Amino acid sequence: MQNGEVMSPQDSKALGDEAMKDHKAPCQNQGCTEPTAPPLPPPSPPSAGPPEYPRPRLIFHTQLAHGSPTGRIHGFTNVKELYAKIAEVFNISPSEILFCTLNSHKVDMQKLLGGQIGLEDFIFAHVRGETKEVEVTKTEDALGLTITDNGAGYAFIKRIKEGSTIDRLKAVCVGDHIEAINDQSIVGCRHYEVAKMLKEQPRDLPFTLRLVEPKKAFDMIGMRTKAPKSNEGKLVNGRETLRLRSKGAATVQEVQSEFEEQATSKVDDLLESYMGIRDLELATTIVEAGKDKKNPDDFAEALDSVLGDFAFPDVFLFDVWGAIGDVKNGRI
């Protein structure tokens, strides 16, 4: 538009519209913000669909092995807590429980509860029965006993070697809790400590064992159980287990792989050979410490960090390392 020209109404409206467009255009200058609309209200929750539920608790069924109603237990993370839960259900003291078996009320060492419970396993608690004293005289270096413990302070007999000194004493049975040696209480001792005490008893000098047998149901009276020599301690097959730990929380995990199962069995055999004990949970811990290690020194260091109290001899560690390697490389 030239100076002196008069603006028509149409031109005035067009110019105003153009100015409004310039005003509404986004600001290109740094730091300039464009006004925004007020926030929308939050969306309404979906009307249909099932409600979300928390993960159910792991509940196990249990009975006293000699006979009782069925109880339900949950919320335990180790063996001591498990015994306390069972004791609470049946209104007994936890110290009454000698050990537990899975899916069998009999004194069956193949079914002995160790560090793992299948999520569908039924737990039978074996409680204190009669107390008996037996005089023993060692006629050879080994008595023929294999000792294990219940994880809560009670050591008991897991295996009796056929033809051994103990085998000739018919009052001594698999499942008997060893309460005292020569009137010295061993309650609270671990299995390897009890095995060492028995090994140190001199030959041809009698000593006394005070034993507590599990309370028997009518169908078990008069039965002298002998543990089988193979496939020992296989608790579950093809499903998840609850892994009980002496330190830390219990965890749900898959059953052992074929390698872990074979290696654990070999280590358990070595524990019996060197220390006179069988302990699948201990054997499992040893295999877990060694399966990913590259050399014996790393294995020994890892084992010492988790099981230093055992003070395993070097020859035992060497044989365990060899057994794990043999299984891993398919030589067994």
**pLDDT in the model for residue 169:** 93
pTM over 0.85? The answer is no
Give the chain's mean pLDDT. 78
Question: Exposed, middle or buried: residue 207 (CB in 10 Å: 0-12, 13-18, 19+)?
Answer: middle
35 DSSP 8-state letter? -
User: For residue 280, what is the enclosing H or E element?
Assistant: helix 280-290
269: tokens are 């055999």
Q: What average pLDDT score do residues 68-92 get?
A: 93
Q: Which of 70-84, 180-194, 282-296, 299-313 has the lowest mean pLDDT?
A: 299-313
How much is the pLDDT for 299? 87
Is a pLDDT exceeding 90 seen at residue 154? yes
Would you state the pLDDT for residue 102?
93
Res 212 pLDDT > 90: yes
Residue 36: its pLDDT value, please? 52
- Candidates 136, 108, 111; CA nearest to 122 is 111
CA atoms within 13 A on the CB side of 140: 9
Half-sphere exposure of 161 (CA within 13 A, CB side): 13
pLDDT score at 305: 81
State residue 115's pLDDT score.
Answer: 75
Nearest to 196 by CA among 147, 266, 135: 147
Q: How many CB atoms lie within 10 A of CB 229?
A: 9
Of residues 296 and 245, more confidence is placed in: 296
Phi-psi region of 64 (alpha: psi -120 to 50; beta: other; left: phi over 0): beta
CB within 8 A of 316, min separation 6: which ones? Answer: 270, 274, 275
d(CA 87, CA 97): 8
Which of the two residues, 268 and 11, has the higher pLDDT score?
Answer: 268
- Please provide the DSSP assignment of 107-128 as one string: --GGGB--SEEETTPEEEEEEE
pLDDT-based confidence at residue 106 (cuts at 50, 70, 90): very high
pLDDT of 74 strictly over 50: yes
Sign (positive/negative) of CA torsion 270, 258, 226, 83?
A: positive
Helix (H) or strand (E) holding 272: helix 258-275
What's the length of the chain?
Answer: 332
Q: What is the pLDDT of residue 139?
A: 87
pLDDT at 54: 47
* Highest-confidence segment of 25-39, 51-65, 175-189: 175-189
Q: Residue 176: pLDDT above 50?
A: yes
Higher pLDDT, 23 or 181: 181
Tell me if 182 sits within 8 A of 207, measured CB to CB: yes
Q: What's 115's DSSP letter?
A: S
The confidence band for 78, taking pLDDT boundaries of 50, 70 and 90, is confident
**Arithmetic mean of pLDDT, 26-40:** 50
Which pLDDT band, with edges at 50, 70 and 90, does 285 fall under?
confident
pLDDT above 60 (res 146): yes
Cα–Cα distance measured from residue 330 to residue 277, given in angstroms and rounded to the nearest whole number: 26
The residue among 185 and 255 whose pLDDT is bigger is: 185
Higher pLDDT, 158 or 116: 158
Q: Please, is 265 exposed, middle or buried when counting C-beta atoms within 10 Å of its C-beta (0-12, 13-18, 19+)?
A: buried
Q: Which residue has the tokens 């009276």?
A: 221
Q: CB burial class (10 A; 0-12, 13-18, 19+) of residue 307?
A: middle
Q: Which of the pair, 92 or 31, is modelled with greater confidence?
A: 92
Cα–Cα dist 168/190, whole Å: 26
**pLDDT for position 187:** 94
CB 80 within 8 A of CB 130: no
pLDDT above 70: residue 221: no
User: Cα(first)–Cα(last) distance of the chain, in Å?
Assistant: 103
Contact 291, 263 (CB under 8 A): yes
